């Protein structure tokens, strides 16, 4: 599995404000959207599904390239929703899907409560959005479900991911690709990334 850590001064600057506990919810949402657009940009860098189209500029006829087989942007609810609109803004021809899944601490397993994908999903490449990946339990379960529909390559967009998550994803889904800003070395007893940025869903939607 390949992991691409995007090292850019602007992204470091924005991540610093995401980490800050004093950053307000609206600012947190705005920063998440801005970062998500740049993650989508990087994930599409090697996209090779293109076609040449003849067009007419104001001055001449010419050939341009347009994307074929647009990806499907899939949000893992609920925090992934904070990234989804930004990815769709960046790739307006993409369609969207939603996976509601969480880890139940009592049964020590993941629980799926919602799953919705576009009809024509087979062989479509996926941009799978979740801002924080700690244990990777929900991410692994989400990829399992997507693969049951025989989708194409899965590219994971995440702002922060743990070293443990990378190891586990590499074990269970070595064909996936990860695009992230930072690999975190620690998690606390509650499964939060450290230093991390707290609970992304709560900070996005003021639900804590």
Spell out the domain ranges in the chain: 2-205
Distances (CA, A) of 179 to 2, 131, 144, 188: 9, 11, 19, 23
For residue range 68-111, what is the model confidence (pLDDT) as tens digits? Answer: 889 999 999 989 999 999 999 999 999 999 999 887 766 667 88
| CA triple 169-8-79, angle to 5 deg | 50
Q: 184: exposed, middle or buried (C-beta count within 10 Å: 0-12, 13-18, 19+)?
A: buried
For residue range 31-55, what is the model confidence (pLDDT) as tens digits? Answer: 999 999 999 999 999 998 899 999 9
Q: How far apart are CA 127 and CA 85, in angstroms?
A: 12
Q: Can you point out the beta strands (E) in the chain?
A: 2-5, 50-56, 61-67, 72-77, 95-104, 109-116, 126-129, 132-133, 154-157, 160-162, 177-180, 182-184, 186-187, 193-194
Q: How far apart are CA 140 and CA 135, in angstroms?
A: 9
Does residue 208 surpass a pLDDT of 80? no
Residue in the structure block whose two tokens are 């949000």: 75
Which of the following CATH numbers is that of domain 2-205: 1.10.357.10, 3.30.70.360, 3.40.50.2020, 3.40.50.1100? Answer: 3.40.50.2020
pTM for the model: 0.92
* Amino acid 108: pLDDT: 65
DSSP symbol at 62: E
CA torsion sign for 53, 56, 59, 61 is: positive
CA 27 vs. chain centroid, Å, equals 19
Helix axes 9-19, 25-43, angle to 10 degrees: 150
Compute the CA torsion angle 147, 152, 157, 162 (nearest 10 deg). Answer: 50
* Amino acid 105: pLDDT: 66
């Amino acid at each position: 599995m390949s992991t691409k850590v995007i090292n850019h001064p602007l992204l470091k600057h924005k991540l610093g404000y995401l980490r800050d506990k004093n950053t307000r919810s609206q600012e947190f949402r705005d920063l998440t959207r801005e970062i998500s657009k740049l993650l989508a940009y990087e994930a599409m860098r090697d996209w090779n599904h293109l076609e040449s189209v003849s067009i007419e500029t104001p001055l001449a006829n010419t050939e341009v390239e347009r994307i074929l087989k647009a990806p499907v942007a899939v949000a893992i609810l609920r925090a992934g929703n904070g990234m989804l609109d930004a990815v769709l803004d960046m790739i307006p021809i993409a369609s969207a899907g939603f996976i509601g899944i969480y880890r139940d601490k009592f049964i020590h397993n993941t629980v799926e409560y919602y799953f919705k994908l576009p009809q024509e999903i087979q062989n479509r490449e996926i941009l799978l959005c979740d801002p924080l990946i700690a244990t990777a339990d929900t991410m692994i379960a989400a990829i399992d479900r997507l693969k049951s529909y025989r989708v194409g390559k899965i590219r994971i967009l995440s702002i922060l991911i743990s070293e443990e998550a990378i190891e586990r994803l590499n074990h269970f889904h070595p064909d996936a690709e990860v695009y992230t800003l930072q690999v975190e070395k620690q998690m606390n007893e509650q499964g939060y990334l450290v230093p991390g940025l707290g609970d992304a869903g709560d900070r996005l939607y003021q639900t804590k």
